[in-house]
Amino acid sequence: MSRGKKTKTKIRLGVNIDHAATLRQVRGGTTAYPDLLAMAKLSVKGGAEQITIHLREDRRHIQDADVKLLTRERPALINLEMAATPEMVRKALKYKPDWVCFVPEKRAELTTEGGLNVHKMRAVLAPMVERLQRIGIEISMFIEPSIEQVEASYELGAEAVEFHTGHWVLLKGAAREREWKRLVAAASAAHDLGLRVHAGHGLDLKTTRDIKKLPFLEEVNIGHSLICYALEWGLQESVAKMARVLRS
């Protein structure tokens, strides 16, 4: 699969609908609502070009049945976030999403706390990447903005890296500027190696206006803020507002 440098046209909006599933699962899976396929379709109507879901090992939100449904109906590209475990690789091989994004995962965390240590996990990840790419699934690594992690992702054959923006969005002043410089340096390194540059975590309407200035950025994945905005504006309009920010 080619990883040649891409000509940047626009930034693809991936909408993560995990927290719609969180609302459904909060009553122990006894309700059928919100309907995730309906949420995905509303997101696409609002301007999403990709639907992102994280099948966690503890199944706290997305369930196996959701992955099956969304990959079958495929209202847009499906990006499956998952831990680097044999079980999750089997799920991906079975349901065949368009993308797999390898992410770190800890049972006790409220949400993903940082990037995957691809450099340390190369021996574990290499056969997983090969098996998934063999059936046409593209691979992204969810990492900190680190040159070492970018290079390790390249060496493993990933098509893209997704930079964890969760720290950057919370920082202020000089610390925020230092983190921005790390993001720029890592994005430039990724581009030079022919990797696609993605970003996500903690982004809202305000911070998306800033992150879209990241050099070579081709994709953002945004979830929690959009589900929160949807309580006021509805999901389709919330996604449409985010899409307009990316286009402006």
Active centre residues (catalytic): 54, 81, 201
The 8-class DSSP code of residue 5 comes to P
Whole-number Cα distances in Å, 99 to 23, 41, 43, 57, 225 = 25, 18, 18, 18, 22
Count the residues in the chain. 248
**Nearest to 48, CA basis, from 103, 95, 11, 9:** 11
Structure tokens at 167: 């720290």
Tokens encoding 123: 């021996």
Among 138, 128, 33, 4, which Cα is nearest to 80's?
138
